[in-house]
Amino acid sequence: MKIRYTAGARSDLLQLRRYVIGRFDAADWSRSLAELRDRVALLADQPRLGSVPLELEELGIDRYLELAVGRNRLLYELRDDTVFVLLVVDHRRDFRAVLARRLLEPPTGDARA
């Protein structure tokens, strides 16, 4: 399967980068990014590796899956032969609030490409 990051997920990674480098250092960011890339690469061969997030399962929504990657939750969706990475969020943040905010953002056109 192919892997694609939505604009929202790319923005999440930039915010995460700023946070980790500002709070810790560039070496920590490099390790975090490598771990993230390694886990996402697994999805190319094992796209059903993740599980439905509890917050979405409670609403009867089962089309999205998540992986835990370090201190982050990675939300993704399978469409045809592509894994779309939709969201990367620190596990300590309010996941429901992050999802609600993301749903209210104007579309960028690449999430369904």
The per-residue pLDDT for range 84-99, each reduced to its tens digit, is 999 999 888 898 898 8
Q: Could you give the residue ranges of the DSSP H alpha helices within the chain?
A: 7-23, 26-45, 54-57, 95-104
| pLDDT band at residue 111 using 50, 70 and 90 as cut-offs | very low
User: Is the pLDDT assigned to residue 64 strictly greater than 50?
Assistant: yes
Confidence (pLDDT) at 7: 93
Confidence (pLDDT) at 91: 86
Per the model's pLDDT, the better-predicted residue between 29 and 109 turns out to be 29
Q: What is the mean pLDDT of the chain?
A: 89
Confidence (pLDDT) at 75: 95
Question: Region 12-38: what's the mean pLDDT?
Answer: 93
For the chain, domain boundaries? 2-104
Question: Would you tell me how many other CB atoms lie within 10 Å of the CB of residue 16?
Answer: 20
Question: Region 50-71: what's the mean pLDDT?
Answer: 93
Q: How far apart are CA 14 and CA 56, in angstroms?
A: 25
Fold classified for 2-104 = YaeB-like fold (3.30.2310)
